[in-house]
């Protein structure tokens, strides 16, 4: 665990900040190269990326505060004080806010919405892969106690240690990083075959929701559950977590959107064949 990679004088360079910046730069480069096929300039994609990044940070904070209200019973300013530490963010909320903002900006600029969504969505997977390594170095987003060989013990003074002591925990941050790599590979491989516009986007969102639902079972449980579906699959707790409920909604929305876009594309092909 290395929350601070190095210092420049008295200024600490945080590992999470470095991985976040790296994921942003590489994600923009990947999106620029893929969006070039649609004739969209690199400067426009970079501008879109800035809006997406800002909304992702805001969404991450909002979702964390909404699911951890007991931690913010003091001054209202604490709800936005991310400068006090990097533990109060939720990537699930960030992904939802970033997607919504991206769709809004693309529509406002009259770009081909679903084709550009397909072009940009691999950058999200790349970002997950890189930033979750930062989570591991930072000590946030840690897992629950485990006796398996993959268990990791965090050092004294860290946030995981304050909850579990020196007990080995699931390295859920690294699980999530591998999830990002898996999603990136799947989406890029899917691009090798022709699909309707929006297919890669829907594929990513459905797989992201499913993988996040499963990963939640191994994470440290620190917020409310919903009494849905009785008991969770692995953990002995009633219902499912807020994150799992949101994940199910993401899966359902992605599948429904994919069905609508697929039928629309099929109808357009039939109409074109009739005119021909």
For the chain, what are the domain ranges? 4-192
Q: Return the pLDDT at 233.
A: 54
For position 177, what pLDDT does the model report?
97
| pLDDT score at 86 | 47
- 72-100 pLDDT, tens digit each: 655 555 556 554 444 567 777 888 899 99
Q: Strand, coil or helix: what is 248? A: helix
Single pTM value for the model? 0.86
Q: How confident is the model at residue 188 (pLDDT cuts 50, 70, 90)?
A: very high
Q: Would you list the DSSP string of 73-127?
A: -S-GGGGT-GGG-S-S--HHHHHHHHHHHHHHHHHHTT--HHHHHHHHHHHHHHH
Query: Could you tell me if 172 and 215 are in contact, meaning their C-beta atoms sit under 8 angstroms apart?
Result: yes
Q: What is the pLDDT of residues 158-168, one digit of tens each?
A: 989 999 999 99
Q: Which residue has the higher pLDDT, 123 or 77?
A: 123
Q: Per-residue pLDDT tens for 215-232?
A: 988 998 765 555 555 555
| pLDDT above 90 coverage of the chain, percent | 58
């Amino acid at each position: 665990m290395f929350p601070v990679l190095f210092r420049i004088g008295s200024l600490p360079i945080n590992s999470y900040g470095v991985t976040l910046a790296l994921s942003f730069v590489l994600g923009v480069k990947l999106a620029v190269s893929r969006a070039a096929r649609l004739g969209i300039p690199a400067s426009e994609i970079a501008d879109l990326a800035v809006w997406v990044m800002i909304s992702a940070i805001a969404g991450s904070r909002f979702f964390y505060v909404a699911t951890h209200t007991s931690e913010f019973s003091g001054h209202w300013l604490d709800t936005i004080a991310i400068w006090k530490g990097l533990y109060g963010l939720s990537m699930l909320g960030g992904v939802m806010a970033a997607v919504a903002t991206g769709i809004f900006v693309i529509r406002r600029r009259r770009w081909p919405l679903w084709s550009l969504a397909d072009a940009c969505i691999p950058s999200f997977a790349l970002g997950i892969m890189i930033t979750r390594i930062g989570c591991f170095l930072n000590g946030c987003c840690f897992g629950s106690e485990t006796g398996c060989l993959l268990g990791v013990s965090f050092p004294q003074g860290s946030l995981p240690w304050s909850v579990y002591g020196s007990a080995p925990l699931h390295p859920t941050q690294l699980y999530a990083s591998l999830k990002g790599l898996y999603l990136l590979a799947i989406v890029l491989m899917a691009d090798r075959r022709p699909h309707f516009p929006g297919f890669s986007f829907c594929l990513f969102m459905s797989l992201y929701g499913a993988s996040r639902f499963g990963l939640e079972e191994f994470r440290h449980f620190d917020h409310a559950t919903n009494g849905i579906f009785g008991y969770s699959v692995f953990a002995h707790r009633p219902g499912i977590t807020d994150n799992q409920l949101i994940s199910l909604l993401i899966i359902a929305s992605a599948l429904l959107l994919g069905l609508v876009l697929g039928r629309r594309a099929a109808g357009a092909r039939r109409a074109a064949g009739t005119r021909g």
